[in-house]
Copies of this chain bind each other. A is one copy, B any other.
Amino acid sequence: MKDARPCSIAGTLALVGEKYSLLVLREVSLGATRFDQLVRNIGAPRDVLTNRLKRLVDVGVLEKVAYSEHPPRFEYRPTTAGLELEPVLLTLMAWGDRHLNDGDRPMVLEHVGGHGHVGGHELVPVVVCSECGEQVRHDELTAHPQTPGWTVTGPAA
């Protein structure tokens, strides 16, 4: 992977884009934070999961917290940076809910309101522009590479 387009999508995927990594984030966000839970809920081989966890800790989206000594036992909890990947999980889930399995969802999210407003409606996540609040549409979007020598379709010159 040499000389590819400099890009935060690629950068993020280099950290959390390996097989199972985002599923680990899903599980720890749900509250399943222990090794054997992760093995069961994700269905990953144990050795692979060991590597992924090591990586995710190194990368700063998980932290390994001891919940017992003698025997030493740890749980893996999402850091703030890890929780900030939730929008990625939500958009992946929204796409799957729309396009997979004839539209019926394996899991439903509830939005329990924070600032005093009555909670308890279903959450359907949408991506909007924080500036104008409008839903982002592909045709209303233009990309501007900041790297000299790169255009939107590839290297210049």
Contact = CB atoms under 8 A, between A and B. Distances in A.
A101 interface: yes
Contacts of A19: 17-18
| Overall SS of chain A's interface | mixed
Nearest to A155: B40
A75 to B, nearest CB: 12
Taking residues whose C-beta sits less than 8 angstroms from the other chain, chain A's interface range is: 35 or more
A113 B84 contact: no
A13 B92 CA distance: 8
A70 interface: no
A4 B136 contact: no
B145 A107 contact: yes
A68 interface: no
B31 A153 contact: yes
B131 A121 contact: yes
A62 interface: no
A8 B153 contact: no
